[in-house]
Each structure stands twice: as structure tokens, then as C-alpha cells.
Structure 1
Amino acid sequence: MADPSPETLKTAVQALGRVHAVEGPPGENGLRTVWHLGTHGAELMSLVDTEGRVRRQELTLLEDHYMWASGEGVRTGRVEPGEGPQVGAASAVVRADAQLMPNRLMRAALALGTYTGQDRYILHIQRVLALAREGLELGAAAQAARASQRPSEPTLPGLAPAPVAPVAEPAPVAPSAQARLVHGAPHPNEVAPPVERRSEGVVMVVVLGVGLLLGLLLLSWLL
């Protein structure tokens, strides 16, 4: 079946506001039932405690069903005809939706928004569904805002720029070390040139002189 038109729902709500509520005696749980039975497919059942506070409500608008309970929020559902021998509302079965259906909620909120009477029970379900509708609209607006935001560049953890260490001034170099740095250190495979020592040359001259003197003495003795 196609969704009911706004005018059809408006007519059902207006008919609901014209009926007189029927109040039952308190039950075992201390709650009493207040019924509003409309003539155009709208019904409202309210459970009220001993202090007059509404604890639970169920609203039927044609084939749409709405349930509210204190501390639980709003749920939506659908009214389906039963399969028993009885026909009509007595055999109807309510199938709760797996999750809140926005289209059902919007239809009921718009229809109840046309009610201008003073019945406190109808005003209560009107306010409950209006708040639920506002919550859906705010959630949709927040989701659209998040989707429109440009994602920022990802920042990988642990990749913060490393601090730059200050450059220390070079320590002063001794003159001898400066000379080594200028000429360069010898290569590991390079053979260093021999070092001449003056003391060794003098010793060699003295040895040669003594040997020459001994040779002259030996020659003169032989002759």
C-alpha cells in the first residue's frame, strides 16, 4: 500500500482530537489506561501512573504505529491484519521496525503538528514525536557537515621533525697538529723516508780514522 497522504493523516489526527478519552481503573502495576479511539484510523493508548504522569504511549495512524516509553525513547512499526477468524482492529498485529524509520516519524510529526487542541495526552505524544524528529534532523545535519569537511593531511605518529643540534665551533689546533693537517697524514701503505742522524756520521768517521792509523802502524812494523 502506498504511503498515506498528508491530508489523510491530518484528517485522522483531527478526528482523534474530537473524541472523549476513556479511562480505565488502575492495573496491578498501579498504572491506568487512557484510550482515545478515533473514527478515521487513529488511536492513542496512554499508561498513566498514580501521580498523573504519562509512562507509556502507543499511537496508531492508519497503518503506521508508534511506541514511546519513559527511559526508552520512540520506536516505529507497522500494523498488519491478523490471520485469525476475527476481523478488524482486534486481530491486527503490530510489527516493530528493526530501527527507527525516519519516513514514518516525519509523517506522524507533521500530522500531529496540525493539532491545536488542549488534550494533555495528545499534546504529550505530539511533543514526543516532535523531539524525535528534531533529533533525526540534527543527526542528519551533523553527518552532512562531517561529509562536507575536507579531510586534513594525515600525520603519521612518531615522525615529528628531529630537533636541529647546534653547530659547535671547531676547537683550536696546536701548530704541530696544524702542520700535520696541512701536509696530510701518511697513507697506511706509504713507507716513510729514512731519518738521518748526525751522531751516527761522526761515529763512522772516527772508526775509519782509527782503522787507517792502525794500518799505517802495521805497515811500518813490517818494513
Structure 2
Amino acid sequence: MAESSPETLKTAVLALSRVHAVEGPPGENGLRTVWHMGTDGAELMSQVDSDGRVRRQELTLLEDHYMWASGEGVRTGRVESEGGPTVPVVKADPQLVPHRLVRAAQAMGTYTGQDRYILHMQRVLALAREGLEMAGAGVIIRESQRPSEPTLPSLESAPVSPPVTPEPSQEEQVQYVFGAPHPHEVAPPVSRGSEGMVMLAVFGVGVVVGLLLLIWLL
């Protein structure tokens, strides 16, 4: 069976937006079923809990089928006829088919109404499509960032430079002569006897001046 064109899918979504939802009573699991029955091959079934939160949805767009459940994500499938055109059977894909998901996301993206159930399915498909695009971008990034193979060092022998003989320092060039003073020897300070006499005379003068001041004060 040939795939429907994007324009045909958009027409089906437009027809779905014009119908009034039919709400059934709560089932044994406590979920209410809300049906949107389009006239151009689009149908939406939503199951809602007692708090009004959507727990499960199934969307049919002509020959494509999409299933979403809280905590499980989106699955894709096809609607096939077995035993005649009046007995449609949904066959789930073994794994998500990206092309089929993108077709539905593009078609549902044209919806501009305010129906909360259609908007919910529109958002579900849009998020699933974004996840596919991010996963694809991640694969491209990992391929581009794959490190290159390390290169082995060259096996050719490098030219050997002649050994450099260090020049002797000035300390090594000094020649020592037996009995002669060391070239770097520092002479000790020379002490002079006159310096001691001068200091003694200054001390005596100080004592005399001190005695005279003491007598004058008394």
C-alpha cells in the first residue's frame, strides 16, 4: 500500500479538528475513554484518569497508527485490512519507525485549535520527533569527535651531535703554589695597641668630669 501524501495527512488532521469528542463512562480500570472520530481517516482515542490526566492515546492517520502510554513513550504501527476493508487490524512495528513518526508530527503540527486531547497528542509526537533529532545529532557528533589513530615515531636514526666539552671555570683555572697564600684568602683584621690607650684616656676623662659634677651638685 502506497503511503499517503503529506497534504492528505494534513487534510485528515483538519477534519479531526472539526469533530466533537465523545466521552464514555469510566471503565474497570477507572479510566474514561474520549473518542475523536474524523471523517477523512483520522481517529484519536484518549484514556483519562479521574484527575483529568491523559494516560494513554492512540492516533490513526489513514494507514499509519501511533500509540502512546504514560511512562512508555511512543510506538508506531500500520493499519491493515484482513478479511475485507471493513476489518482493519493494527500491527505494531517491532521498533519505532522514524519516518512514520516524522510524518505524523508534521501533519499534527498544522493543528491550531484548542482541543486539549488533540493538543496533547500533538505535543507527544513533537517531543518524540525532537528526541529522534537529538539522538541523530549525537551520533554525528560522536563520529566527528572520534580520535584519530596515533602515529608511531620515526625509525630513522637522528643525527648524533659531537659531545661538547665544558670549559673550565675560573676556580678550576687557579693554580696553587706550595707555601704561597691562597689566591682568595682574606687577611684577618689588624689590631693596633694605640686604639686601646685612646679608649682608656677617654674613660679616665669621663670619670673626672663625673666627679666634678657630683661635687658641684653637693
Regarding TM over 0.5, the answer is yes
2:8 & 2:22 partners in 1: Cα distance?
24
Aligned AA (1:34) = V
1:147 and 2:143 aligned: yes
1:82 to partner: Cα distance: 2.0
1:53 and 2:53 aligned: yes
- Cα offsets for 1:36-81 (capped at 9, x unmatched): 0000000000000011100000000000000000010000000000
TM-score for both structures, normalised by structure 2? 0.67
Q: Secondary structure at the match of 1:144?
A: helix
Residue number in structure 2 paired with 1:19? 19
2:100 & 2:22 partners in 1: Cα distance?
27
Aligned AA (1:100) = L
Tell me the percent identity: 79
1:94 to partner: Cα distance: 0.5
Residue number in structure 1 paired with 2:90? 94
TM-score for both structures, normalised by structure 1? 0.65
Residue number in structure 1 paired with 2:115? 119
Residue number in structure 2 paired with 1:205? none
Aligned AA (1:3) = E
Residue number in structure 2 paired with 1:83? 83
Aligned AA (2:121) = I
Larger Rg: 1
Q: Secondary structure at the match of 1:33?
A: strand
Q: Give the alignment of 1:63-74 within 5 angstroms.
A: 63-74=63-74
Q: Secondary structure at the match of 1:93?
A: strand
More divergent stretch after superposition (8-17 vs 142-151): 142-151
Q: How many residues align?
A: 151
2:115 & 2:106 partners in 1: Cα distance?
18
Alignment match of 1:131 (pick from 127, 140, 149):
127
Residue number in structure 1 paired with 2:42? 42
Aligned AA (1:114) = T
